[in-house]
Amino acid sequence: MSFVARTSWQNVRDRVHGLILDGTYRHGDKLPRDEDLAEELGCARTTLHRAMRALADTGIIERRRKGGTTVRTDPVTRATLDIPVTRLEVEARGFTYGYHLLERTEAVPPAPIAAALKMLKPHRMLRVQALHLADGRTYVLEDRWVSLQTVPEIAQVDLSTQSANEWLVRNRPVSHYDIRISAHSCDVKEAQLIGAQEGQAVLVVERMTWTNDAPITHVRATNSPGFHLMASSRS
Amino acid sequence: MSFVARTSWQNVRDRVHGLILDGTYRHGDKLPRDEDLAEELGCARTTLHRAMRALADTGIIERRRKGGTTVRTDPVTRATLDIPVTRLEVEARGFTYGYHLLERTEAVPPAPIAAALKMLKPHRMLRVQALHLADGRTYVLEDRWVSLQTVPEIAQVDLSTQSANEWLVRNRPVSHYDIRISAHSCDVKEAQLIGAQEGQAVLVVERMTWTNDAPITHVRATNSPGFHLMASSRS
DNA sequence: AAGTGGTCTAGACCACTGA
DNA sequence: CAGTGGTCTAGACCACTTG
């Protein structure tokens, strides 16, 4: 029954956040300097710093050397989006995962793909079109381009049983990536493949990945109708 | 010309990341314990910890007490999404921002809205429908519900010149929020308002915000055609 | 130039959790 | 219950940036 509010950075973070929520410090206000605030809250400056960084990460406050810490006036809504490997996503929803290779070709990618991957000189890539299934029904239509220059081994991999994603994930660590989310009206062919009506709106997620500036892959995932992404403020 | 690679947590983070990218440690492999790795890299354990936490945050490694640190086998694509206040977004694109109030009513929200806000007993809310304009053209159609219980003062605010968002942002700090992104085929009315064709696919972003479990607002932002969201791996 | 946040270190102790 | 990551502290120094 003892409320031993131990000093911990999470506790400190919540207390500072509380001072903002209850109006002690309002939008645009300047908070005390770290050293003073730490003393006031009874913790080390390092601990306060840890707490403040968490608040700064979520976009609640803004910190500047010499400028001090202020409550953001124009807070951005900053959310973390987790996009798991499709197989795991399907399985997490309690369905049986399936994979079906539609087509596999090699070609130089069209300009938009090359541009998205920031390729200066477009080179031959492997194009893989496939379906991810959930309990036998289409879950996602995937249209992928893989760089044969960065990942030559992919040419020898059997992609009829194993998704290119699964192979890449295990064999080519990614150093950074971009994501683009948009809405799309599906054409006749897409509609048929993902079990939608022609013209129906679907969510399209494109991902571009690189290893140290060398392009790995561009994936365009056309989700089935009704699919949505969820995100939330970081805890 | 001196490559004084000073030990800093970013440097350490990049070096450990490098050990993963170059295949020294592969997916599923276990990394040395912090103390050993710190000594190997010539930094304090605290500094290594800072670096490892950054890698864990981006989903590259997984850390467990007693279990050690392993390279994630099923890496999630974890991205940070920043959604600014609409006015700033429009201005950042070099357009002149405009705001137009369409309708303002009070009512008990329909079930889906109440459910999204986790309201146990739906109560009266203020409903505000408005357009955000960029150089006079519709940029976003906003359909917002504001809790009159949590934010009673909003009833007295003039929302014909000031967006509800702007007022809320300055007067009701948010403790946490959820975001939902989906694709939507617009109906006749929406199409007309946002300058689209009937049935055209548009990106819909819904946001629910709370202060300490008390619902503040539900916003449904229907973006104009062609709009897309971008995100990328955290630096 | 001076003030404020950012980081590093070393050491101690805590809290999970897997063998 | 022992091993590993997580955190706290105190003090020093660094680096940015604003007055």
Nearest DNA or RNA nucleotide to B36 (CA to C1'): D4
CB atoms within 10 A of CB A49: 16
Q: Cβ of A181 under 8 Å from any chain B Cβ?
A: yes
Amino acid B39: pLDDT: 94
**Sequence-separated contacts (24+) of A157-165 with Cβ below 8 Å:** A159/A101, A159/A104, A159/A128, A159/A130, A160/A101, A161/A99, A162/A99, A163/A86, A163/A87, A163/A99, A163/A130, A163/A132, A164/A126, A164/A128, A164/A130, A164/A217, A165/A85, A165/A86, A165/A219
Portion 24-43 of B in contact with A at CB < 8 A: 27
Q: Which of A27, A15, A35 is nearest to A59 (CA)?
A: A27
* Confidence tier at B2 by pLDDT (50, 70, 90): very low
Is it the case that residue B1 has pLDDT exceeding 50? no
Of A77, A169, A175, the CB nearest to B83: A77
List residues, Cβ < 7 Å, touching strand D.
A 7-12, 42-47, 50, 64-67; B 31, 33-35, 45-46, 49, 52-53, 56, 63-69
Residue of B nearest to A61 (CA): B173
Whether residue A79 and residue B83 make contact (CB cut-off 8 A), yes or no, is yes
Question: Which nucleotides on chain C have any atom < 7 A from a protein Cβ?
Answer: 2-12, 15-19
Q: What percent of the residues of chain A are helix, what percent strand, and what percent coil, each to the nearest 5? A: 30, 35, 35
CB neighbour class for A209 (10 Å; exposed up to 12, middle 13-18, buried from 19): buried
Which stretch of A20-24, A200-204, B61-65, B134-138 has the lowest confidence by average pLDDT?
Answer: A20-24
Query: Residue A215 has what pLDDT?
Result: 95
Which of B 129-158 lie inside 8 A of A, CB atoms? none
**Share of residues in chain B with pLDDT > 90 (%):** 75
> What is the per-residue pLDDT for A2?
33
Find the mean pLDDT for residues A90-115: 95
For B20, the closest of A20, A169, A173 (CB atoms) is A173
Residue of chain A whose Cα is closest to the Cα of B14:
A175
pLDDT tens string A17-75: 999 988 899 989 999 999 999 999 999 999 999 999 999 999 899 999 999 999 998 77
Whether A183 sits inside 8 A of B184 (CB atoms) is: yes
Nearest CA in chain B to A223: B183
- Nucleotides on strand D with an atom closer than 7 A to protein CB? 2-12, 15-19
Contact residues for B211 (Cβ-Cβ < 8 A; gap 6+): A21, B150, B172, B173, B174, B175
* Per-residue pLDDT at B219: 96
Average of per-residue pLDDT values in chain B: 91
pLDDT-wise least confident of A123-127, A149-153, A168-172, A231-235: A231-235
Best interface-test mutation with B: which of A31, A46, A140, A233 has the largest number of B CBs within 10 A?
A233
A4 pLDDT band (50/70/90 cuts)? very low
Own/partner long-range contacts of A4-9 (Cβ < 8 Å, ≥24 apart)? A7/A41, A7/A42, A7/A43, A7/A47, A8/A47, A9/A47, A9/A50, A9/A51, A9/A54
Instruction: Give the pLDDT of residue B7.
Output: 61
Average pLDDT, chain A: 91
- Give the nearest partner residue to B81 out of A81, A170, A203, using CB atoms: A81
Q: Hey, is A226 helix, strand or coil? A: coil
Q: Using an 8 Å Cβ cutoff, are A215 and A125 in contact?
A: no
Distant-in-sequence, close-in-space partners of B86: CB < 8 Å, separation ≥ 6 = B97, B132, B139, B140, B142, B163, B165, B221
pLDDT tens-digit readout, B208-218: 999 988 999 99
Q: How confident is the model at residue B235 (pLDDT cuts 50, 70, 90)?
A: low
Instruction: Indicate if the pLDDT at residue B26 is higher than 50.
Output: yes
Structural domains of chain A, with CATH: 3-71 (1.10.10.10), 86-223 (3.40.1410.10)
> Whole-angstrom Cα distance, residue A74 to residue B90?
14
Taking contacts as CB-CB distances below 8 angstroms, the residues of chain A near B216 are: none
Give the model's pLDDT for residue A7: 61
pLDDT-derived band at A235, boundaries 50, 70, 90: low
Contact A52, A61 (CB under 8 A): yes
What pLDDT sits at residue B19?
94
In this prediction, residue A169 carries a pLDDT of 82
Residue B60 has pLDDT above 80, yes or no: yes
Give the pLDDT of residue A213: 85
Structure tokens at A135: 């309990």
Protein CA B212 to sugar C1' C4 (Å): 32
Q: What is the pLDDT of residue B3?
A: 37
Average pLDDT of the residues in B25-34: 94
Contacts from A47-54 at CB under 8 Å and sequence distance 24+? Answer: A47/A7, A47/A8, A47/A9, A47/A12, A48/A12, A50/A9, A50/A12, A50/A13, A51/A9, A51/A10, A51/A12, A51/A13, A51/A16, A52/A13, A52/A16, A54/A9, A54/A10, A54/A13
Helix (H) or strand (E) holding A158: none
State residue B84's pLDDT score.
Answer: 85
CA distance linking residue B135 with residue B78, whole number of Å: 34
Whether residue B122 has pLDDT greater than 70: yes
Residue A48: HSE in the Cβ half-sphere, 13 Å Cα cutoff: 18
Task: Report the 10 Å Cβ neighbour count for B5.
Answer: 10
Residue reference for tokens 């499709």: A86
| Chain segment A59-73, per-residue pLDDT in tens | 899 999 999 999 998
Question: What is the mean predicted confidence (pLDDT) over B163-170?
Answer: 87
Dump pLDDT digits (tens) for B90-105.
Answer: 998 999 999 999 999 9
Residues 6+ apart with CB under 8 A from B17: A175, B55, B60
Closest CA to A186 of A171, A204, A208: A204
Interface of B with A in 100-129 (CB under 8 A): none
- Which B residues, 42 through 101, put their C-beta within 8 Å of a C-beta on chain A? 59-60, 73-85, 88
Nearest nt to the CA of B9 via C1' is C7
Give A173-212 pLDDT, tens digit per residue. 888 899 999 999 999 999 999 999 999 999 999 999 998 8
- Helix or strand or coil: residue A26? coil
**What pLDDT is attached to residue A6?**
55
Chain B residue nearest residue A50, CA to CA? B50
Contact B231, B80 (CB under 8 A): yes
Question: Tokens standing for B151?
Answer: 């934010």
SS (H, E, C) A67-85: CEEEECCCCCEEEEEEECC
Is the CB of A83 less than 8 angstroms away from the CB of B75?
no
Is residue B126 scored above 50 in pLDDT? yes
Residue B120 has a CB neighbour count (10 Å cut-off) of 6
Residue contact B74–A81, C-beta within 8 A: no
- What are B58's two structure tokens? 């981006």
pLDDT exceeds cutoff 60 at B149: yes
User: If 0-12 CB within 10 Å is exposed, 13-18 middle and 19+ buried, where does residue A63 land?
Assistant: middle
Q: What percent of chain A has pLDDT over 90?
A: 75
Interval A214-221 mean pLDDT? 96
